[in-house]
Amino acid sequence: MRPTELLGARHGFDQRAAETRKAIESAGGRAVDLIADFADPTDVRRLIAETREATASGTVDVLVNNAGGGGFAPTEDTSEDMFDTAFAVNVKAPYLLTAAFAPAMAERGRGAIVNVGSLSTTMAASGTSAFQAAKAALSMLTKSWTAEYGPRGVRVNSIDPGYVLTRVNEHIRDMFSGYLATLPTGRGAQPGEVAEAIRFLVSPQASYIQGATLSVDGGKNAVVTM
């Protein structure tokens, strides 16, 4: 079983996707929950095909590249599989998804893409080199795609969250107690707070924002701990 499959089984991604779909439907929307292993390019391509089949016109107006993972370890203890997984999930999967859906957005002259990066794209931490390098690559893709698709009406931006209180992160919360104490907010982010930042960037209110990175990190990037 692949590391991402273990993670999915452990944290109930199937169930969580179903819960999200039901919440959207209860609010009067329409949703389809599609699950894929982003460490596997073949599975990403399957997801692309199923997404096209699930949409009424086969088109996508908003793409949020929100996957993450790959494992943390000192460089000498980072296996080749861990390294490959970090870049497959954080770089190659977003690249395949953007390559699949951005051209049609550009042809229609509208669309929005948000890449979910990390505070670690600009601030290094020991023991996370592969993950940080992958997220830094995704940050550069935001700029590259802005140059490529921006002139044709597609807005591409990034957000860089810090520690977010997701179900996946809950089991390592104690490890981040010292980090959280250095934040002006003094706490981690709720998932909804990150989602609101994404919603803003894909909304008409952000129509003149392109190629930007919005920090959603509780002020960490602005403050030096003394």
Q: Answer yes or no: is 112 within a domain.
A: yes
Q: Which two structure tokens, joined as six digits, stand for 179?
A: 């980090």
Low-confidence winner among 88-92, 111-115, 205-209, 214-218 (lowest mean pLDDT): 214-218
Classify residue 9: in a domain, yes or no: no
- Give the pLDDT confidence score for residue 172 in this predicted structure: 65
Q: Which conformational region is residue 182 in: left (phi greater than 0), alpha (psi within -120 to 50 degrees), or beta?
A: alpha
Cβ atoms of residues 171 and 150 within 8 Å: no
What beta strand segments (E) does the chain contain? 62-65, 111-116, 154-161, 213-216
Query: Is 225 among the domain residues?
Result: no
Structurally, the chain folds into a number of domains equal to 1
Q: Mean pLDDT throughout 201-225?
A: 92
Across residues 26-51, what is the average pLDDT?
94
pTM exceeds 0.75: yes
In a domain, 208, yes or no: yes
The answer to whether position 4 is within a domain reads: no
Type of residue at 101: F
**Residue at 161 is within a domain:** yes
CB contact at 8 A, 138 and 115: yes
CATH code (residue 131): 3.40.50.720
- To the nearest whole percent, how much of the chain has pLDDT over 70? 91
Q: At what angle do helices 129-149 and 80-87 cross, to 10 degrees?
A: 30
- Residue 124 domain-assigned (yes or no): yes
Residue 33 in any domain: the answer is: no
Q: List pLDDT tens digits, range 146-205.
A: 999 999 999 999 999 988 878 777 666 666 777 778 888 888 889 999 999 999 999 999
Domain around 103: 56-220
pLDDT at residue number 6: 37
